[in-house]
Amino acid sequence: MLETQHDILWTFLTLLFTVYSFFVFVNVVGHCREHKEVNTPLWGGIFGALFIVNILMTRHMFDLVQHDQMGFISWQVLAIFVILLMWGLFFKSQKIEDQSPPFVRGFFFWVTVSTLLAGYTNWLPQQRSDPPPKGGAAISKDLTVEEYAEMGRIIVFGAKQVAGQKAIGKGQCPLCHTFEPGNNIGRCPNLFGVEERSHTRIKEDRYLNQPIKVGEEDPATHVVKGKPMDIDPAYRRQGGPEMTGEDYIRESVMCPSCYVVKGYGKAGDKVSPMPVIVKPPISLSPVEVNAVIAWLQSKDTPGDFSSVTVPLPSAEDTATAEADAGEGEKKIFVTGTESIEDMVNTLGCPVCHTIPGVPGAAGQLGPLLHEKVNAPKRIKDPRYKGKARNTKEYVRESILNPSAYIVFNDEAGELFPDGLMPQDFKNKLSIDALDKLVDFISQTE
């Protein structure tokens, strides 16, 4: 679980606290109405104020991330205790404690609440809609390193993260990469510790000579390996002709095949399956690439930004980037009115698949999608335990439930990694879009 996530439980509780304080407020005012001798403005004022305090606290909770929410909830629990105490005091002072006391009412309230909570958490993973994202990716003139790194984080994960859901932003990195120690999903390196590695990699013999030598040009991207002075000045950098850790990370994402992490490449680790992130479908701008680098350099040391070396964007960069601001989060959903090409690009299939008939879809991490040929073979495989009986059913099943059957990778001599293909396309496609996509992919050969 990432500490930048929003916590469902705390968010839910905080809403309930507000509802509860409103309930008490209404109850007290009701009493005041029935008993003419009670000082209504005084008691109404006190409980009204407590209700408002709870509303403000709830609002604040929505601005916090999980870790801080956990700390803040104790203040709200305290506020609820004050309410209960005041409520008891109200009963005592009005000599009406012969009615069921507040603590008993409180008990029944919280039993109902717990039942609701159980129901809510069951219903939640499919249905939750997030509060509108803050314009977190916007660039301001007086940007700090911390804000720049935060912008990078939003490009990677999107503006809002919800516990239990895989968050994927415009950069699409979490489709393939993991970032926490020990968490791996298969054919892509875990990027924990990449800042540290970036300084040692460039001194390795393997970096100097494989798969191309320093000074040679990568044919796919025309980047000259190990020559940071040659990059477009739009990618602002610090330092002279020597490679730095920052340059290594930038080269990794702009020219993945300049250096291929051992065991993660194709054709004997000569070709990287990672997409060039400055080209479609990802297409990050120079300012965005540097923001992602700033985040990668600082993510392993929360609160400490001393390892960040990328310079902040200049005023002119800011002007060009302003147009893109707020795009950090891209809503991924297709309705079926789009062209096939737009549909697969929005969904990100070309990041992993080569799809015949779709220009630029040259992904290398998943099987080549010629399903007219593949699907009948898969269904006949004794390993196949799915429900499909024909090609269309097989393609539909592969999209909605990729783990139903795991394809064997003949080239690598092992199964493709299970869990690499996103499991949640069912939430990103309308029924029309799914039909259209299945029709198209079933015909590919």
- Does residue number 69 form part of the binding site for ligand HEC (CB under 6 A)? no
Which strand (E) or helix (H) includes residue 414?
Answer: strand 414-415
Stretch that binds ligand HEC, among 88-96, 191-199, 203-211, 231-239 (CB under 6 A): 191-199
Query: Minimum distance between the CB of residue 350 and ligand HEC, rounded to whole angstroms?
Result: 8
Amino acid letter for position 149: A
By CB under 6 A, residue 278 contacts ligand HEC: no
Considering only 80, 253, 287, 332, the residue that binds ligand HEC (CB under 6 A) is: 253
Single out the residue of 272, 298, 354, 444 in contact with ligand HEC (rule: CB under 6 A): 272
Widest Cα–Cα separation across the chain = 91
Record the tokens describing residue 139, joined without a space.
């660039």
33/40 Cα distance (integer angstroms): 8
Q: How far is the CB of 178 from ligand HEC (least distance, A)?
A: 11
* CA–CA separation, 216 and 205 (whole Å): 15
Instruction: Check if the beta carbon of residue 137 is closer than 8 Å to that of residue 328.
Output: yes
| DSSP 3-state of 6 | strand
Q: Around Cβ 90, how many Cβ atoms within 10 Å?
A: 22
Question: CA 152, CA 253: separation in Å to the nearest integer?
Answer: 14
Give yes or no for residue 149 binding ligand HEC (CB under 6 A): no
**Which of 92/270 has CB closer to ligand HEC?**
270
Among 13, 365, 433, 434, binds ligand HEC (CB under 6 A): 365
Nearest approach, Cβ of residue 306 and ligand HEC (Å): 20
Helix (H) or strand (E) holding 195: helix 194-201
Binding status of residue 353 toward ligand HEC by CB under 6 A: yes
Q: Report the distance separating Cα 234 and Cα 237, nearest Å.
A: 9
| Site string (280-309) toward ligand HEC, x via CB under 6 A | ------------x-----------------
| Cα–Cα distance, 176 to 353 (Å, whole number) | 13
Cβ neighbours for 118, distance < 8 A, ≥ 6 positions apart: none
Q: How far is the CB of 265 from ligand HEC (least distance, A)?
A: 5
371: contact with ligand HEC by CB under 6 A: yes
DSSP string, 274-288: SPPTTSTTT---HHH
Instruction: Pick the binder of ligand HEC from 50, 399, 433, 434 (CB under 6 A).
Output: 399
Cα–Cα distance, 336 to 268 (Å, whole number):
39
Is residue 340 near ligand HEC by the rule CB under 6 A?
Answer: no
Contact 298, 308 (CB under 8 A): yes
When asked if residue 265 is in the footprint of ligand HEC (CB under 6 A), the reply is yes
Question: Which residue lies nearer to ligand HEC by CB, 5 or 346?
Answer: 346
Which region among 72-80, 89-97, 317-325, 351-359 touches ligand HEC (by CB under 6 A)?
A: 351-359
Q: DSSP character for 14?
A: H
Q: How far is the CB of 149 from ligand HEC (least distance, A)?
A: 13
Closest CA to 189 of 202, 199, 176, 200: 176
**Which one, 16 or 292, has the nearer CB to ligand HEC?**
292
Helix axes 102-127, 8-34, angle to 10 degrees: 140
- Residue 169 engages ligand HEC in binding (rule: CB under 6 A): no
Question: Interacting stretch for ligand HEC, rule CB under 6 A, among 92-100, 101-109, 142-150, 369-377?
Answer: 369-377
- At closest approach, how far in Å is the CB of 171 from ligand HEC? 3
Nearer to ligand HEC, 26 or 267 (CB): 267
CB nearer ligand HEC, residue 28 or residue 421 = 421
Separation of alpha carbons 431 and 337, rounded Å: 11
Its sign, for the CA torsion 286, 292, 293, 298, is positive
Residue type for position 237:
R
Q: Which of 6, 225, 299, 378 binds ligand HEC (CB under 6 A)?
A: 378
Task: Mark 403-422 with x for binding to ligand HEC (rule: CB under 6 A) and - for no binding.
Answer: --xxx--------xx--xxx
CA angle, 262 as apex, 258 and 265 as ends, to 5°? Answer: 65
151 binds ligand HEC per the rule CB under 6 A:
no
Using the contact rule CB under 6 A, the part of the chain among 5-13, 58-66, 308-316, 401-409 near ligand HEC is 401-409
DSSP secondary structure code for residue 365 in this structure:
S
Residues in contact with ligand HEC, counted by CB under 6 A, come to a total of: 57
Helix or strand (DSSP H, E) at 415: strand 414-415
Q: Which residues bind ligand HEC (CB under 6 A)?
A: 171-173, 175-177, 187-189, 191, 194, 197, 201, 249, 252-253, 256, 259-261, 264-265, 272-275, 277, 292, 344, 347-349, 351-353, 365-367, 369, 371, 374, 378, 395, 398-399, 402, 405-407, 416-417, 420-422, 425, 437, 441
